[in-house]
Structure 1
Amino acid sequence: MTGCVFCSIVAGEVDAEVVLETDHVLGFLDTRPVFKGHTLLVPREHVETLPDLPAFLRDPFLEAGQRLATAMTTALGSQGSFVAMNNVVSQSVPHLHLHVVPRTKGDGLRGFFWPRTRYEDGEAGEYAGRLRSAVGADQA
């Protein structure tokens, strides 16, 4: 897609430190990492959000995310990883991308994205019901 920096990276028009490459996805270092090794995984095909991801790309995308999460510990010696993606809100590039960030206990990353809240009495059940209905779980 014209004007998409991630599509330009996939096409080889913009340099990136590539760490994983398959027929369907590309993983490369984030130029502004949370921690060194922070990798972005993108589908080669221009897809803007997770709901837009075609079915044939789901397994290759998730499998590559698993490989990157494992690599954070085996290659970098981290204790684990933080894996996340934004859809529209806070999505700095409108091309689906999964952040895979190496994590170590005591690394200072706390409350990085989410303030916490609580449900009022009965409210959790209401929210769960609305979501069950939207994903079709009530029809099962």
Structure 2
Amino acid sequence: MCLFCDIAEHKFEANIICETEKTISFLDIAPVNEGHTLIIPKMHVDSILDLPDDYVMEITDVSRKIIRAFQKIYGAVGYGIMQNGGRNCEFGHFHFHVFPRLENDGYDWIYPKGEKKVSKEVAKKIADSM
């Protein structure tokens, strides 16, 4: 069984923030900043591509509520949202990271080295494939 499925079924203890019909949200055990929250669907999938639209909309709605709480509680100047899917989903269960960004919090996004092409051709290739 999956750890996140166990949390969703209340078989494994977590610091739960909120629960809806389709989602459960709880504190990350290795937070970027205090309040770092994971939002997971109660359905076991590893990619947003496999989630029904109503789950995606509920996760988005919950994330907005959590971000508003960050502003009230921490005076957050911003927020971060991250999600790794498919083979990059480290727990094998879709999860949305939502965390407050605080003034001078030291969090940084690190890009891999090497040049990446940014052009109209790249934009068109993606647009044409949608």
The residue number in structure 2 matching 1:24 is 22
Partner of 2:94: 96
Deviations 1:41-85 (A, max 9, x none): 001111211111112212111111111122111123322211111
Could you tell me the percent identity over the aligned residues? Answer: 28
Q: Give the match for residue 81 of structure 1.
A: 79
In the alignment of these two chains, the number of paired residues is 130
Unaligned runs of 5+ in 1: 136-140
Report the counterpart of residue 138 of structure 1 in structure 2: none
SS in 1 for 2:100: strand
- Structure 1 distance, partners of 2:4, 2:116, is 38
How high is the TM-score relative to the length of structure 1? 0.83
Which protein has greater RCO, CA pairs closer than 8 Å, 6+ apart?
2
- Give the alignment's Cα RMSD to 1 decimal: 1.8
1:69/1:83 contact within 8 Å kept: no
Measured after TM superposition, the shift of residue 30 of structure 1 is 0.5
Q: How far apart, in 1, do the equivalents of 2:111 and 2:88 lie?
A: 12
Q: Quick check: which has more Rg, 1 or 2?
A: 1
- 1:114 is aligned with what amino acid? Y
4+ residue runs over 3 A deviation: 115-120
Deviation at 1:117, TM superposition (A): 6.5
Structure 2 residue identity aligned to 1:64: V
TM-score by length of 2: 0.89
